Each structure stands twice: as structure tokens, then as C-alpha cells.
Amino acid sequence: MDSVRYDRSAPAARVPLALKILIAGGFGAGKTTLVSALSEVRPLQTEEVLTGAGIGTDDISGVETKSTTTVAMDFGRITINEDLQVYLFGTPGQDRFWFLWDELAFGALGAVVLADTRRLADCFPSIDYLEQRGIPFVVGVNCFDGARRFSLENVRQALDLDPDVPLVLCDARDRQSGKLVLIALVEHVARQRGEPVPAG
Amino acid sequence: MRTESPGPPHEWLDDAAGPVVRPYTLTGGRVRSSVAGFDLVAYVLAEPDADPAAHPELQPEHRRLVELAGRPVAVAELAADLDLALGVVRVLLGDLLARGLVAVHQPPAAACLPDDDILKAVVSGLRAL
């Protein structure tokens, strides 16, 4: 780990450790809003260019002729201390960009799945994906104005969540609220590793 | 062709029209980096003695990357800063790495991370926000 965190040849420039957290959920569930609320910098956007030539094909003639599309990914950053930064990546909402998830999920600490009770089924694919890959996650029920309020127990049943998956109410616009969701996730990750994180 | 000009001039191209360069023109059509890796959150750091001027074949975007990497910067942030697609930035970073102008610090594999102290630090850091 030291080789990752510190650059031995230039001790003055310390390379922090980056932790990656995914913000998943259906289209319009509040992913970008949550990233914005939590990020210390204006939310950044990066995009991946997709070509019809097919992924992994190193074929310039393909790039020349095939149509391209870009997938924007929102991300934000939280600096914990000089050695530790948390990156939040909003997952692409559209199903056809599933393959991008593999890259986003690679090495991720865990994920927050935002659920919108008006369209609860929209977050099923995210949950399926994370369960299949064994990525720890919590579900944040985004409380939109005017949305029907369900009891957490009903939501848990509707999502068919494992009993140990934390389910929390949140307001994706609110930094404090979003922060509590992230804390729930990190504590969940710690519990899965067998050692609870003490409060405080 | 790897010049800054996107090709023969057309009448309908002007400053107001904005860039019409295809994303991978910058990379000379290469869509894969010469080196594997460059995780989204890998940190890139310019070598202390990096001198991009010694490599005239490099694009302005290469030089900008070296400048930005004067302090450790994550790959995703570099792409956002340069407003270039991730795949393009990865190819350019591969060029810089091959010339010894930058070092890349890949994040550790998930299996060996994070230890409990790190998780505790994250929780207390988040609480302090």
C-alpha cells in the first residue's frame, strides 16, 4: 500500500489514496443531485466516447466511419485528509451503458443506490448488478417533495433486499443527509469485513 | 496526420463553428492506450524533471496534462479539466508514460483494501463535513 500512497522518488509529492463510491439508481432518481450536494468541487463531468466499431477494437477505419455517442459521467470529490480522497461517481442512467459500470465498479468501495418511491422498479437493475458482483451497497430512499411516503419496511419488501442491507431515507439535495447515507455505506462495508466502526 | 489543424480548411468552418475534430483525432486514431490501466481514480504525477518541450511530437494536450500533473491528479479529473473523453486522455497518458514524463499510481485492488483504519478515517472525516 505504501507504494501507492507515497512516491518514494519525490517525497514532497504525496499521492493520496482514492476510494471510489458509486452513486447508482434509476434515471432521474437524484444521482447527479447527490453528487453535487456532497462534492467539495463543482461536480465534474467526464465522458466516454462510444463508437459503433465496438469496444476494444483498435481499428481506425472503424472510428472514421461509425457513428459515435458520448456518455457523460458525473463525479465529485470529498477530501477526507491529505492522504485520503473519496470520489463519487454517478452511474449512467441508461441501460445500454451497462458495460461502463464494470469500469466504474472496478475497485469500488461500495455503492449508494438511490430509490425513487414513485418509480421503485427503476433501481432494480442497479441492485441486481451490485448483488451479482458482490459490491456492498446501501439504498437511499430519496424523499422527493410530494412523493408518496412509504414505510421503510414496505420499501425493503418491495426491493426484496437482504436484511443486512441498510435502507435509509435521504434528501439528495441536502449535504448533511447525503453525508449520512455515505456514512451508512462505509459502516456497512466495515461490518462486512467483520469489524464494526465505532461511532464518533 | 497529427497536426493541430483538423484537415483541409472548409468554407463553412470558422471559429464560431467550434471544433469539429473527431474525439480520437488527437490520438492519431488510436483508441487504446499503449499501457493497460489508468483507472478512473489512478493518480498521475509528472516526473520532477519532466520536459515535454524535448518531445516535439507531443500535442498541446500532452503538455497540458504534464502541467496539470504537477501535483497528483486523478485520471477522471484530468479528463474533466481538459474536457476530453476518458479514452482519449488514457491514450495521451500512455504516450507520456512511455516517454517517462509522468508516473501513474494505480489504486490498490479492492481485495486488499481498505483496512479498518482507513474506513474509520473516512467515517470520521465524513462526520466532520
Residue A23, SS3 per DSSP: strand
> Which residue blocks in B1-129 are alpha helix, DSSP H?
60-68, 75-82, 86-98, 116-127
Can you tell me the ipTM of this complex?
Answer: 0.78
Q: What is the pTM of this model?
A: 0.80
Domain that holds residue A124: 16-43+75-192
% of chain A residues with pLDDT over 90: 51
Task: Specify if B45 maps to a domain.
Answer: yes
Task: Specify if B44 maps to a domain.
Answer: yes
Chain A residue at shortest CA distance from B113: A109
- Rounded to a whole number of angstroms, the distance from the CA of B76 to the nearest CA of chain A is 7
Across residues A6-23, what is the average pLDDT? Answer: 73
Cross-strand partners of A20: A87
Task: Specify if A152 maps to a domain.
Answer: yes
Mutate: best of A39, A49, A65, partner B, most B CBs <10 A: A49
Amino acid occupying residue B128: A
Task: Specify if A58 maps to a domain.
Answer: no
Q: What is the pLDDT of residue A56?
A: 43
Task: Specify if B10 maps to a domain.
Answer: no
Task: Specify if B28 maps to a domain.
Answer: yes
Confidence grade of residue A4 (pLDDT, cut at 50, 70, 90): very low
Q: Does B127 touch chain A (CB under 8 A)?
A: yes
Task: Specify if B121 maps to a domain.
Answer: yes
Task: Specify if B70 maps to a domain.
Answer: yes
Q: Does A158 touch chain B (CB under 8 A)?
A: no
When divided into structural domains, chain A yields a total of 1
Q: What is the pLDDT of residue A6?
A: 41
Task: Specify if B69 maps to a domain.
Answer: yes
Task: Specify if A37 maps to a domain.
Answer: yes
Domain that holds residue B92: 15-127
Looking at residue A34, which CATH number applies to its domain? Answer: 3.40.50.300
When divided into structural domains, chain B yields a total of 1
Q: Considering CB atoms only, which of B48, B85, B120 is closest to A49?
A: B85
All residues of chain A having their beta carbon less than 8 Å from the beta carbon of residue B88 are 49
Q: What is the pLDDT of residue A10?
A: 45
Closest CA to A169 of A138, A191, A127: A138
Task: Specify if A51 maps to a domain.
Answer: no
CA–centroid distance for B97 within its chain: 11
All residues of chain B having their beta carbon less than 8 Å from the beta carbon of residue A14 are 72
Q: Is the pLDDT of residue B3 over 90?
A: no
Read off the pLDDT of residues A118-146 as tens digits, 9 standing for 90 and up: 889 999 999 999 999 999 999 999 987 66
Task: Answer yes or no: do A46 and B76 touch at CB < 8 A.
Answer: yes
Task: Specify if B5 maps to a domain.
Answer: no
Q: Does A188 touch chain B (CB under 8 A)?
A: no
Read off the pLDDT of residues B44-99 as tens digits, 9 standing for 90 and up: 999 999 999 999 999 999 999 999 999 999 999 999 999 888 888 999 999 999 99
Closest CA to A79 of B65, B77, B58: B77
Across residues A18-35, what is the average pLDDT? Answer: 92
